Amino acid sequence: MSAPREPRTALQAWPTGFGGAFLLLILLTLIGCVNYALSLGYGLTFLLAGVWVLSAAQALRAARELTVTVQVPGPVEAGQDLPVTLRARGGRGGVLRVTLASTQGGAAGSVALDGSGELTLALPTRTRGPLDVTVALRALDRLGLWHVNLPSPDPLTVLVHPAPEEPAPPPPTRTRPGQGEGAGRAPGDEEFAGLRPYQSGDSPRQVSWRHVARTGQLLTRETDAAQGSARHLDWTDTTGDPESRVSRLSAWVHALTARGEAYALHLPTEQVPLGAGEAQRQAALNALALQPPLPPPAPPLKVAAAPLSGPALLWTLLALTVTLAPGVMRQPWWLSVLIAALLGHSLLRARSARVTPLPTWLLALLAVAGGAALNATYGTLLGRDAGTAFLALLAALKTAESHARRDQAVLTLLGLFVTSTGFFFSQGPVTALYTLLCAALLLTAATTRLGTPPPLTRAELGARLRRTGRLLALAAPLTLALFVLFPRPDGPLWQLPVQGQNLTGLSSEVSAGTFTNLAQNPAVAFRADFRGPVPPPAERYWRGPVLENFDGVTWRQVRGNAPMPSVEATGEPLTYDLTLEPSGTPWLLALDAVVRVPQGSVITGAFQAATFRPVATRRRVTLVSQPALLGRRESQDRLRFDTLLPRGQNPRTLALAQPWQALPPAARVQAALDHLRQGGFTYTLSPPLLPEENRTDAFLFRSRQGFCEHYASAFAVLMRAAGLSARVVTGYLGGELNPDGNYLIVRQQDAHAWTEVWLPGQGWVRVDPTAVIAPARVNTDLRTALTRPTASVAQSRGTLDRLRLRLDAWQNRWNSVVVEYDGEQQTALLSRLGVQGGAQTLWWLVVPALILTLLPAYAWARRAARPTDPAQRLWQDLTRSLGASLHPGETPGAFTQRQAELHPHLAPLLSEAARAYHAARYAPGSPDAALRDLRAAVKAVRGMRHRARR
């Protein structure tokens, strides 16, 4: 038979308003990561999710260990604030949130707990009489994401004294006559009348300290006076409504008490006998406070929102400044100046109360003007660049008008959202570390929302950062499990507009100067990892847009429904992985001829690989190319179109090519190359400007200086003038081999243009006229070709170049393992681990993985929840053995008495445990003996409870 068990209400954690908004932020960032394949964004999202989950455990732990006592001082006068003091013990690492409510108003506040905490709230009072105060207690985590409702203490009843009339007339001089022997005297201050035991409220001057020293007992001297000198206050001495009468009588009571005179008070419902001193004053004011009719309760006052203190704003400004700093490198300069000015104003406001928040109308004007300026700069507010810049502006505007603690919560959420948008621009390891720092600072600033924020000192910042770092470390296993197992979709939900301001690359059209600009840009276009030998430099032609429409100045792409030309393989296939940087274009740069592309991509009729959606973020794709004869069977309409030239232009070029039409097709190509080789042409990035009319004539016969687009365009015009089908192909040539990773780095400066000519029996044949002028452009790199056009070996690398390649190898490894971790790599990883199946199998794996990853955090929470004092630890073991907990404000003695009523057979052991606990905690000397007795009592209680359950 089991012993009766005390019914116990299970503690439950619920999200706060801030916690709900935090969860919504997690869901929004998760949707963004799913849509835009932001791999590092998944990491940040899952890290915040881990913080959200662990905060619930922190709130529950604080609630389980928390005991609260409530103290209220003596009565106060109507119109004064009633101070209510709450002392908390336990709940280490949590926050106590207190809400006071009464019929005359309310108050609320928080205090952070580090083993103990104290909070005093001022409750407003407006009318006299009994005031019932209810106390609601909630335990929260340090971030304020979760709350646990604690059992409420019994309602408090406080008597509110009437406010004295100011100014009041002097008290009446009427005295009370004496009757009979001994009746002529009354309590007063004229003569000694005897000694009596000390009572609370007696003046220390009336205590007979001589008797205290001799007997050790507190005795108070009594004095009296002639009864005729005692004042008599009567209800009939006042006029007006009851509240006016009570107020005047209260003023007379205060005045007579201040003068030390004795008085009596007669009210319609009560009589206060003669007396003097503090006890008499309290008795009189209590009677006046309860004198009917009591005034009706006033409408309760609305509790004002908690103000945002200067230190809390300073913490938040520090975190936001670090978060918004990277935007300086990518947003307009005027926006950076405006954001700095808004943050500076907020900083001054945090340091000085004389600086007021900016008016709402000015902030609204700045928001509208800033949005209009960004729209004019980027052409939209919905794209990546404009959207993130506008979000940074809104965050800065919010700091300028923040005045309440709820505004700090909004700033924290805005800062975390701005942090996540940084992955649109970069997902490198440096960005990952910086994002982690921003998240830690923002979460650290969020801990100042509750309680009294400490000053912003280096020591306090370090302590709070260490606490936040410990929380993030506990969330790391959960983050890793979700990062690996969370299903990755194959396609986006919608497409993000990407402005071209920060993106450079190939265009769908080419005219003089296009590739000259790209040649000055060292940014990485893509990286290529080969699953086999790396092709030699002469075979590293990366095919991009194919341009067939020529108007005399510009070459453009042609889209149509022509039949697919033939592809006849002549060599072994070559497999390689491309890591494409964001370009805003759909092109997949492939070696000739691409024969296999990833899902969601196509091979066009011009043998160009393209994807269905632009490359807006870093993307990794696998391609297969194979040497082949291209287009031996080609559409005749396309071949005719590729011989067209604009009428009336470039007569000298036409005249030059006219005699070549009698030569065989291959000889026509050679004749044009010979003309370039022997014509004194120069390879340069700074050619002279060419006219709009007869541009090819100007280049071939006057300037003879140009870059790849000049030579490819002029050669295609010569071939068309000679009667052959020709077109311009753009893409990239070459690539820098990184020996640390055995992969190619292709940069924007490697952009190139060449010509394709259709020859009977051979199909489309690549002809690179630039190689005739500068062979080093094909055999080496751009830098060597510009200085030594005929060189066959590239310039040697210096120490800085080798260091740069080593860093790029690390970056490439990071990209392959972390940034490009997608559904395909996820499936491959699980296959290597022996797990087969699709997304449904992954969901089954997520649940046990979450449980396993939360076990370390649970063990840490349990360990940290144990009190440091050995007596408190043993007492905690006792309460757990009984399956009960201390009520708020309950002492150990009261707890054991309550448990003894539920478990009578344990009463002697519980009494011994309480005695030993008090001795160990408060008795002088060594507590070792008391601890042994307490340990034995706890062990005996545990054993008896175990036998009772069996």
The 10s digit of each residue's pLDDT in 270-318 is 888 888 888 889 999 999 989 888 777 666 656 566 677 778 888 889 9
Tell me which residue of 785, 783, 787, 753 sits closest to 768, measured CA to CA: 753
* Mean pLDDT across 407-422: 92
Per-residue pLDDT band for 905 (boundaries 50, 70, 90) equals confident
The answer to whether 768 is a known catalytic residue is yes
Same domain, residue pair 404 and 268 = no
In DSSP notation, 208-233 reads -HHHHHHHS--EEEEEEEEGGGSEEE
Q: Is the pLDDT of residue 345 over 70?
A: yes
Tell me which residue of 783, 800, 684 sits closest to 736, measured CA to CA: 783
Q: Please give the Cα distance from 732 to 735 (Å, whole number).
A: 8
* Mean pLDDT across 385-392: 91
Domain end call among 408, 431, 453 = 453
| Exposure of 691 in the CB half-sphere (CA atoms within 13 A) | 9
| Assigned domain for 130 exists | no
Same domain, residue pair 312 and 368 = yes
pLDDT value of position 741:
79
| Assigned domain for 660 exists | yes
Q: Is the pLDDT of residue 928 over 50?
A: yes
Please identify which residue in the block is written with the tokens 């300073």. 314
pLDDT value of position 4:
34
In DSSP notation, 394-429 reads HHHHHHHH--BHHHHHHHHHHHHHHHHHGGGT--SH
Residues with Cβ within 8 Å of residue 341, at least 6 apart in sequence: none
Tell me which residue of 519, 432, 478, 532 sits closest to 811, measured CA to CA: 432
* Mean pLDDT across 212-228: 64
Q: Is the pLDDT of residue 930 over 80?
A: yes
Q: Please give the Cα distance from 373 to 85 (Å, whole number).
A: 53
Q: Please give the Cα distance from 57 to 863 (Å, whole number).
A: 13
Tell me which residue of 763, 749, 647, 765 sits closest to 715, measured CA to CA: 765
Per-residue pLDDT band for 500 (boundaries 50, 70, 90) equals very low
Element (H, E) at 362: helix 360-378
Same domain, residue pair 273 and 401 = no
Domain end call among 453, 468, 497 = 453
Q: Please give the Cα distance from 81 to 66 (Å, whole number).
A: 27
Per-residue pLDDT band for 3 (boundaries 50, 70, 90) equals very low
pLDDT value of position 501:
41
Q: Is the pLDDT of residue 599 over 60?
A: yes
Per-residue pLDDT band for 850 (boundaries 50, 70, 90) equals low
Q: What percent of the chain has pLDDT over 90?
A: 30
Same domain, residue pair 521 and 553 = yes
Q: Which domain holds residue 882?
A: 866-949
Q: What is the DSSP letter of 637?
A: H
Among 496-505, 818-827, 876-885, which is the least confidently predicted range? 496-505
Residues with Cβ within 8 Å of residue 947, at least 6 apart in sequence: none
* Mean pLDDT across 858-870: 62
Higher pLDDT, 655 or 490: 655
> Cβ(342)–Cβ(399) under 8 Å?
yes
Higher pLDDT, 860 or 357: 357
pLDDT value of position 689:
85
> Could you give phi then psi for residue 886, rounded to 5 degrees?
-65, 135
Per-residue pLDDT band for 178 (boundaries 50, 70, 90) equals very low
Q: What is the pLDDT of residues 662-716, one digit of tens each?
A: 999 999 999 999 999 998 999 888 888 888 889 999 999 999 998 888 999 999 9
Neighbours of 941 (CB within 10 A): 21
Residue 540 identity (one-letter amino acid): R
Its pTM stands at 0.73
Q: Is the pLDDT of residue 25 over 90?
A: yes
Same domain, residue pair 546 and 694 = yes
In DSSP notation, 759-801 reads ETTTEEEEE-THHHH-THHHHS-HHHHHH-TT-SSPPPP-HHH
Q: Is the pLDDT of residue 427 over 80?
A: yes
In DSSP notation, 224-271 reads EEEGGGSEEEEGGG--SSHHHHHHHHHHHHHHHHHHT--EEEE-SS-E
**If you average pLDDT over each of 71-75, 237-241, 378-382, which comes out highest?**
237-241
Neighbours of 780 (CB within 10 A): 20
Tell me which residue of 603, 620, 605 sits closest to 822, measured CA to CA: 620
Q: Please give the Cα distance from 735 to 192 (Å, whole number).
A: 111
Same domain, residue pair 410 and 444 = yes
> Could you give phi then psi for residue 25, rounded to 5 degrees?
-60, -40
Domain count, the chain: 4
Q: Please give the Cα distance from 99 to 300 (Å, whole number).
A: 14
Q: What angle do CA 868, 871, 875 make, to 5 degrees?
A: 105
Hey, CA dihedral for 878, 879, 880, 881, is it positive or negative?
A: positive
Same domain, residue pair 697 and 570 = yes
> Cβ(880)–Cβ(862) under 8 Å?
no
Q: Torsion angle, CA of 874/878/880/886, rounded to 10 degrees?
A: -100
Q: Please give the Cα distance from 23 to 604 (Å, whole number).
A: 45
Beta bridge partners of 102: 105
- Mean pLDDT, the chain, integer: 83
Query: What is the rounded end-to-end Cα distance, in angstroms, of the chain?
Result: 7
Which whole-number Å values give the CA distances from 294 to 75, 162, 290, 297, 543, in the listed order?
17, 11, 7, 9, 93
Q: Please give the Cα distance from 172 to 482 (Å, whole number).
A: 83
Q: Please give the Cα distance from 905 to 885 (Å, whole number).
A: 19
Element (H, E) at 601: strand 601-603
CA 272 to chain centre: 64
Neighbours of 922 (CB within 10 A): 10
pLDDT value of position 589:
92
Q: Please give the Cα distance from 286 to 484 (Å, whole number).
A: 70
* Mean pLDDT across 133-153: 89
Same domain, residue pair 317 and 414 = yes
Residues with Cβ within 8 Å of residue 828, at least 6 apart in sequence: none
Q: Please give the Cα distance from 941 to 895 (Å, whole number).
A: 15
**If you average pLDDT over each of 195-199, 719-723, 857-861, which comes out highest?**
719-723
Q: Please give the Cα distance from 164 to 850 (Å, whole number).
A: 65
Strand order, beta sheet including 743-747: 594-596, 619-625, 574-580, 524-530, 743-747, 736-738
> Cβ(728)–Cβ(712) under 8 Å?
yes
| Assigned domain for 341 exists | yes
| Assigned domain for 809 exists | no
Same domain, residue pair 545 and 679 = yes
Q: Please give the Cα distance from 181 to 189 (Å, whole number).
A: 20
| Assigned domain for 384 exists | yes
Please identify which residue in the block is written with the tokens 């009589």. 271
pLDDT value of position 462:
82
> Cβ(14)–Cβ(891) under 8 Å?
no
Catalytic position from the list 161, 254, 710, 752: 752
Residues with Cβ within 8 Å of residue 939, at least 6 apart in sequence: none
| Assigned domain for 143 exists | no
Beta bridge partners of 69: 87
The answer to whether 752 is a known catalytic residue is yes
Catalytic position from the list 161, 224, 697, 708: 708
Token reading at 445: 């600033």
pLDDT value of position 868:
66
Higher pLDDT, 428 or 633: 633
Higher pLDDT, 619 or 341: 341
Higher pLDDT, 424 or 782: 424
Same domain, residue pair 749 and 675 = yes
* Mean pLDDT across 454-477: 84
| Assigned domain for 716 exists | yes
Q: What is the pLDDT of residues 789-802, one digit of tens each?
A: 666 566 666 678 78
Token reading at 475: 């969330």
Hey, CA dihedral for 275, 276, 279, 283, is it positive or negative?
A: positive
Domain end call among 263, 289, 315 = 289
In DSSP notation, 14-66 reads EE-HHHHHHHHHHHHHHHHHHHHT-HHHHHHHHHHHHHHHHHHHHHHHHHHT-
pLDDT value of position 412:
93
Q: Please give the Cα distance from 866 to 872 (Å, whole number).
A: 9
3-state secondary structure of 194: strand
> Cβ(754)–Cβ(708) under 8 Å?
yes
Tell me which residue of 685, 719, 681 sits closest to 703, measured CA to CA: 681
pLDDT value of position 298:
62
| Assigned domain for 848 exists | no
* Mean pLDDT across 162-184: 69
Q: What is the pLDDT of residues 519-566, one digit of tens each?
A: 678 888 999 999 888 998 889 999 999 999 999 999 999 887 778 899
Token reading at 131: 């005031």
pLDDT value of position 321:
93
Per-residue pLDDT band for 788 (boundaries 50, 70, 90) equals low
pLDDT value of position 663:
94
Token reading at 534: 């790396």
Q: Please give the Cα distance from 677 to 789 (Å, whole number).
A: 13
Same domain, residue pair 314 and 282 = no
Q: Please give the Cα distance from 148 to 872 (Å, whole number).
A: 23
Q: Is the pLDDT of residue 780 over 60?
A: yes
> Could you give phi then psi for residue 222, rounded to 5 degrees?
-105, 135
* Mean pLDDT across 202-222: 69
* Mean pLDDT across 128-133: 89
Q: Is the pLDDT of residue 170 over 80?
A: yes
Q: How many helices (H) and strands (E) does the chain have?
A: 28, 36
pLDDT value of position 304:
60
The answer to whether 708 is a known catalytic residue is yes
Same domain, residue pair 434 and 340 = yes
Q: Is the pLDDT of residue 121 over 50?
A: yes
Catalytic position from the list 224, 385, 768, 781: 768
Q: What is the pLDDT of residues 36-63, one digit of tens each?
A: 888 889 999 999 999 998 888 888 888 8
> Could you give phi then psi for residue 286, rounded to 5 degrees?
-65, -40
